Structure 1
Amino acid sequence: MGISQSTLFRELRRNSSPAGKYIWFKAHDKAMERRKRSTGNATLAPN
């Protein structure tokens, strides 16, 4: 697939349903929700 096995495993574990099924559009929705909740990159103000 072109990605490491550990990356694929993390994706499946993080975005699978409680029943253990991976549904791509639900995984995408979860990712968008996580992105909304993230704070982004913190920047320091110049002194």
Structure 2
Amino acid sequence: MRPYLNVLDEEKRADFEHDILDRIKENYTVQKNGKVIFRFPRLFFTAYSE
């Protein structure tokens, strides 16, 4: 997100960060320490030749 944040002035940057955090809180659980753990589904498999 840094490229987006770097072009904004301080006030707009704070507004943008606040909006993003609100959207994150709608979809992810906020931990007791205030941090958010993002889900990253993974797929593991083993390939072999016969």
Q: TM-score range by the shorter chain?
A: 0.3 to 0.5
What TM-score comes out, normalization by structure 2 length? 0.41
> Which one has the largest radius of gyration?
2
TM-score normalised by the chain length of structure 1: 0.43
Query: Going by fraction, where is helix more abundant, 1 or 2?
Result: 1
